[in-house]
């Protein structure tokens, strides 16, 4: 296979290359692509340095698979180009997720949607993926009616510049110096920002709508009730989510743990008395979604509450994209 990676010098693009190295895909050649600023830089694949090329139509010639992680603007421009040249594109941006002609896929949940692709498959939002990875096995048993999520999202979800900003802002704070943020609207160091994406007229943020709409599409549940508050927190990697869900049938927490433990890609870490529960430090660099604090919800009928942590650069982005490609090409 010939695989193009657009956004190869970014955080997610770098992980895409690493995940490809260990995947089941028969990769013969990787073509790293980026912006004009990234042209000439070098990335590592299978121990070799490979030059990054500026994205141009000619680089998609005879490409079987194109993994995109360059933002919605470049995706809107280049995804149709790559698909028209015969590549199957797995796009990590929000550009194509809600297009009715484009499957939005978490391979453990809705791989059957891949049969309808027309050369483009969308990778869901990172926060949506980790929520549904824990809700779906419970939905199969109890019937999901509603869920709420409060997210605690790391700065790596915004990219390299955000990681650098948090580091610089934290140092300035500890030195007692003023800091002027450029990536975020307010200083994120030692702070919490309930602001991910622009707000609509009702005060609902773009990130919150992503989780609502994407969850409904992935689960084929147009009427699913979802409420979300998304928050940027001063951690470098991994997102945390406090999830409460209501089901059609009463939920047994012990059985719920067993269902979650048995689901591929989910790991239960749940012994609060021993201070065992998922944290961002635990989840960093792991492909599994970690879940703990599994307990009855005190305010919902047939409710269950849990705490979920996942590396947003892996299962939330690069790993899920490569797993989609494996489902398409490796069977």
- Which residues contribute to the annotated binding site for NADP(+)? 9-12, 37-38, 156-157, 312
Give the whole-angstrom CA distance, residue 184 versus residue 169: 11
Identify the three-state secondary structure at position 292: strand
**Structure tokens, 57:** 């139509």
Phi, psi of 190 (to 5 degrees): 50, 40
Give the whole-angstrom CA distance, residue 317 versus residue 17: 12
Which residue in 117, 126, 139, 238 is the catalytic one? 126
- Whether 113 is a known active-site residue: answer no
Residues tagged in the binding site annotation for substrate: 153, 206, 232
Region of residue 188 (left: phi > 0; alpha: psi -120 to 50; beta: else): alpha
DSSP, residue by residue, 296-324: E-SSSTTEEEEEEEE-TTIIIIIHHHHHH
Residues tagged in the binding site annotation for phosphate: 97
- Whether 112 is a known active-site residue: answer no
Between the CA of residue 61 and those of 64, 109, 293, what are the distances in Å? 9, 32, 49
User: Which helix (H) or strand (E) covers residue 285, if one does?
Assistant: none
Give the whole-angstrom CA distance, residue 251 versus residue 50: 51
Looking at residue 232, what DSSP letter applies?
Answer: B
Give the whole-angstrom CA distance, residue 153 versus residue 133: 17
Strand 88-91 versus strand 144-152 pairing type? unpaired
Q: Are 15 and 31 in contact (CB under 8 A)?
A: no
In the beta sheet, which residues pair with residue 48? 45
Q: Are 329 and 316 in contact (CB under 8 A)?
A: no
In the beta sheet, which residues pair with residue 89? 66, 120
Residues annotated catalytic, as ranges: 126, 239
């Amino acid at each position: 296979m010939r695989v193009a990676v657009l956004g190869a010098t970014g955080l997610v693009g770098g992980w895409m290359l690493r995940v490809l190295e260990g995947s089941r895909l028969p990769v013969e050649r990787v073509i790293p692509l980026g912006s004009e600023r990234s042209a000439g830089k070098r990335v590592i694949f299978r121990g070799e340095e490979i030059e990054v090329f500026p994205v141009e139509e000619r680089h998609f010639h005879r490409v079987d698979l194109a993994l995109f992680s360059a933002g919605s603007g470049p995706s809107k421009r280049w995804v149709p180009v790559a698909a028209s040249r015969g590549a199957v594109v797995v796009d990590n941006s929000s550009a194509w997720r809600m297009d009715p002609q484009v499957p939005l896929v978490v391979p453990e949940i809705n791989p059957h949607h891949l049969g309808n692709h027309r050369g483009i498959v969308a990778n869901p939002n990172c926060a949506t993926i980790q929520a549904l990875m824990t809700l779906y096995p419970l939905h199969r048993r109890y019937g999901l009616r509603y869920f709420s999520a409060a997210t605690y999202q790391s700065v790596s979800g915004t990219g390299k510049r955000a990681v650098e900003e948090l580091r610089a802002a934290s140092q300035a704070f500890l030195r007692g110096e003023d800091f002027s943020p450029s990536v975020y609207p307010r200083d994120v160091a030692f702070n919490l920002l309930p602001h991910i994406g622009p707000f609509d007229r009702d005060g609902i943020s773009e990130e919150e709508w992503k989780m609502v709409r994407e969850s409904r599409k992935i689960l084929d549940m147009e009427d699913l009730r979802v409420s979300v508050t998304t928050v940027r927190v001063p951690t470098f990697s991994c997102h945390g989510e406090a999830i409460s869900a209501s089901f059609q049938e009463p939920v047994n927490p012990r059985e719920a743990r067993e269902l979650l433990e048995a689901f591929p890609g989910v790991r239960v870490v749940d012994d609060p008395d021993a201070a065992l529960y998922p944290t961002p430090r635990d989840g960093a660099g792991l492909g599994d979604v970690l879940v703990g604090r599994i307990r009855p919800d005190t305010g919902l009928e047939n409710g269950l509450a849990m705490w979920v942590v996942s590396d947003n650069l892996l299962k939330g982005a690069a790993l899920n994209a490569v797993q989609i490609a494996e489902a398409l090409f490796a069977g």
